[in-house]
Structure 1
Amino acid sequence: MKIEFTLNGIHRVIESAPTEPAWPHLAEEGAREGRCRGGNCLRCAVLLGDRPVPSCILPVYRLQGAHVTTLVGMGENPLFLDIMRAFDKVGISRCEDALPGLVMLAYQIISEKSIPSDMDIQDYSRYLVTRCAGRDEFERAVRLAGRLQGRRKADRRERVSR
């Protein structure tokens, strides 16, 4: 099956069996191989549109027409940088096993809720399972990243209005 999609802003065309896992096709652009092979470890998480998904169990046919972003593709994205600053400040390690999933989940929460409430964060993170960050640390980091993003947007609006 011919599949066309955008990976980290670059148009891609691949040939693949439709039910093959997407991960091998995303690896060259930074998607990490999952260790669990069941979508639970989040090491292989990517954004499919604006939703984090484990690429090890994502069938390749779901890439058709989609925009996919790996951790590498986040690059200089301002929200990504806010999230990484918040993770560092709170003390979340840059554990390669969980970092993609943690970042993608934080990105989704803040993208959808701007400045998320404690209930929002708890709702999104209720299935979070990782040895690299406790739930409390993750929730604190998401709140901080949301505030950092809010300040950055307010500063930008202030500069534009001058």
Structure 2
Amino acid sequence: MSGDRGGLLIVCLGNICRSPVVAEVVRHRFAAAGRSLVVESCGTGGWHVGHRADARMREAAREAGYDLSGHRARQIEAGDFQRFDRVLGMDLANLRDLTARCPPALRDKLGLFLPTAGVEGVVEVPDPYYGGPEDFRYVVALAERGADGLLARLGG
């Protein structure tokens, strides 16, 4: 992944909570380490296309030093599987949806974010949408662990 042109696509359900913050944290951590990596996010569903990130996630991200103000949700497109080198879901349901949509020849690009990043003890990034502020802060913390894990795996 370190030298790949297409970079990383981070995917959750609606692209308003988990995937935008993970993408922003990964971009931020890589830039801080002097590394360049194309990172985008999207959702498997289209309910929130064009919407900003959830206000609670924007607040949790802001508290941790990340800016989601420019984010606008989008849904995954067929061309994304070709365009990106890795397409990583936040949870097993996202991965099932991605697998169903992805051409069989490109399925080796699919995975889960946390295991791909080498984070141990947690497989899925939980959806905080129906939770409280602590759930959103937990997702930011998992994003940081995952971003640091990707950097370590890529020799950052």
Please indicate the TM-score interval, normalised by the length of the shorter structure: under 0.3
| TM-score (norm: length of structure 2) | 0.25
| TM-score (norm: length of structure 1) | 0.25
Larger Rg, first or second structure (1 or 2): 1
Name the structure, 1 or 2, with higher relative contact order (CA <8 Å, separation 6+).
2
